[in-house]
Amino acid sequence: MFEVKEIDESILAQNPVIERMSKYNHEQLLFCNDNDTGLKAIIAVHNTTCGPALGGTRMWNYNNQNEALQDVLRLSRGMTYKNAISGLNLGGGKAVIIGDARSQKSEALFRRFGKFVDSLGGKYITAEDVGINPKDMTYVNMETNHVVGLPGKSGDPSPVTAYGVYQGMKAAAKIQFGSDSLSGKKVAVQGVGHVGEYLVSHLKDEGAEIYISDIHEQTLKHVAETYGATVVGLDDIYDIDMDIYAPCALGATVNDDTLNKLKCSIIAGAANNQLANEDIHGVAVLERGMIYVPDFMINAGGVINCYAEVKGLSSEWAHDKASEIYNTTLNILNRSRENNIPTYQIANQMAEERIEAIGKVKLPF
Ligand code: NAD
């Protein structure tokens, strides 16, 4: 569906940006510049077949504009797949503000950004992402209503994200161990911040044996004491005898190095981009008989929470919708086993199937 289209080579030579959009069929890019406020941003709308493109705004000190462009193209496409596989009537989008989040923020910059978001007339809905806090979003909201996750609205998405991860983990256990009970299972949670702590709480309630790591000493101490979890070293977490590895901090922790150490038979966590290289490590986990639950599907609770706000739905609705991650995980894992295809490929296929189906609904008959 997002295959490369043949386009005039002379146009490509003049405009590599369009070539890059064309590679994964991005619909629209909005380059935003304002000399007075110092705003430099890119808003990417990847696909709006299922609905308005929703995805957060990231503020990052990119080394150059190419990096920013690459990031926004990659992230917006990821949102299309995440929203589609989660059954939400949303497309995929993302925005990046180029700049140092510690020193280059101002009310004027975010309000100017809000005007650019508003100029898209609701085709793009924004939210917080890395480098952005609720106060920044309040400024954006002064200029546009197309913002979710504001203070006093749907609130911190982490509990819903953690609940979804927990559901996906149970479904993976059902396939791998024959029962979805996590009682007595050894689960290693890497990163016990917002999502990680809520996940640990579910695991504790179910009687799992919990191991945790975190770079932040106080967080580690708090979670260990509150939930009776065992602390392990930052690098040791890959070596311990465990059933389930739950990355909830960083991306790319499933790589050549760690795969030689990991003794788990399930990888299920909240972090984005867990596979260092999808094509290599997605296949490698399958060959080792491990189950990898695709990150963009299992961590969709956050966007489900945002969707509830967009549609005026309750937090109970968001919780119930996140429960569906259990069945979606079962579907992916069964299809993966039947066809011996890596789980991330099945998840991508399922997202594309839904976009194709919904695209038919909207055909102008
Ligand atoms: P967070 O910043 O609250 O927590 C991350 C934790 O990881 C922190 O406590 C941090 O100290 C720790 N950490 C950092 N580097 C580490 C390392 N090398 N080893 C161990 N711990 C380390 O973030 P969060 O909101 O809990 O999100 C966790 C992950 O889930 C992120 O990758 C995020 O992108 C992803 N995610 C979060 C949500 C959400 O709703 N918050 C939704 C989807 C995806």
Q: Are strands 39-47 and 28-34 parallel, antiparallel or unpaired?
A: antiparallel
Average of per-residue pLDDT across 308-319: 95
Q: Using an 8 Å Cβ cutoff, are 11 and 18 in contact?
A: yes
Residue with more model confidence, 265 or 273: 265
Residue 281 pLDDT greater than 60, yes or no: yes
Average of per-residue pLDDT across 191-218: 97
Q: Are strands 291-292 and 186-190 parallel, antiparallel or unpaired?
A: unpaired
pLDDT, residue 1, reads 52
pLDDT, residue 345, reads 97
Q: What angle do CA 90, 56, 297 make, to 5 degrees?
A: 55
Residue closest by Cα to atom 12 of ligand 1: 191
Q: Which fold has domain 20-74+93-141?
A: Rossmann fold (3.40.50)
Return mean pLDDT, the chain.
Answer: 94
Is domain 158-353 annotated with CATH 3.40.50.720? Answer: yes
Q: Which of 54, 79, 158 gets mutated to test ligand 1 (max ligand atoms within 8 A of its CB)?
A: 158
Q: How far apart are the first and last CA of the chain?
A: 21
Residues comprising the chain, all counted: 365
pLDDT, residue 9, reads 58
Instruction: For residue 189, give both structure tokens.
Output: 């949670």
How close is the Cα of 187 to the center of ligand 1, in Å? 17
Average of per-residue pLDDT across 279-287: 97
Q: Using an 8 Å Cβ cutoff, are 60 and 5 in contact?
A: no
Instruction: For residue 211, give both structure tokens.
Output: 């191991």
Residue closest by Cα to atom 14 of ligand 1: 249
Measured in whole angstroms, how far is the alpha carbon of residue 252 from the centre of its chain?
13
Residue 346 pLDDT greater than 60, yes or no: yes
Beta carbon of 267 within 6 Å of any ligand 1 atom = no
- Report the catalytic residues: 94
pLDDT, residue 134, reads 87
Closest CA to 319 of 158, 139, 106: 158
pLDDT, residue 153, reads 87
pLDDT, residue 155, reads 80
- 308 vs 315: CA distance, rounded Å: 7
Average of per-residue pLDDT across 238-267: 97
**Would the CA dihedral through 154, 332, 269, 126 be positive or negative?**
negative
Ligand 1 atom with the smallest distance to the CA of 269 is: 30
Q: Using an 8 Å Cβ cutoff, are 232 and 238 in contact?
A: no
pLDDT, residue 151, reads 84
Instruction: For residue 170, give both structure tokens.
Output: 């149970």
pLDDT, residue 4, reads 47
Work out the pLDDT band at 16, boundaries 50, 70, 90.
confident
Its pTM stands at 0.92
Q: Using an 8 Å Cβ cutoff, are 61 and 25 in contact?
A: no
Model pLDDT for residues 96-116, shown as the tens digit of each residue:
999 999 999 999 999 999 999
- 286 vs 238: CA distance, rounded Å: 18
Residue 3 pLDDT greater than 70, yes or no: no
Lowest mean pLDDT among 18-27, 78-87, 101-110, 356-365: 356-365
Residue 191 pLDDT greater than 70, yes or no: yes
Ligand 1 atom with the smallest distance to the CA of 295 is: 44
Residue 11 pLDDT greater than 60, yes or no: no
How close is the Cα of 223 to the center of ligand 1, in Å? 14
Indicate the domain borders of the chain: 20-74+93-141, 158-353
Asked whether this chain's domains 20-74+93-141 and 158-353 adopt the same fold, the reply is yes
Model pLDDT for residues 55-70, shown as the tens digit of each residue:
999 999 999 999 999 9
Instruction: For residue 326, give both structure tokens.
Output: 């259990």
Q: What are phi and psi of 125, to 5 degrees?
A: -115, 130
How close is the Cα of 248 to the center of ligand 1, in Å? 5
Beta carbon of 194 within 6 Å of any ligand 1 atom = yes
Q: Which of 248, 298, 304, 305 gets mutated to test ligand 1 (max ligand atoms within 8 A of its CB)?
A: 248
Q: Which of 250, 298, 306 gets mutated to test ligand 1 (max ligand atoms within 8 A of its CB)?
A: 250
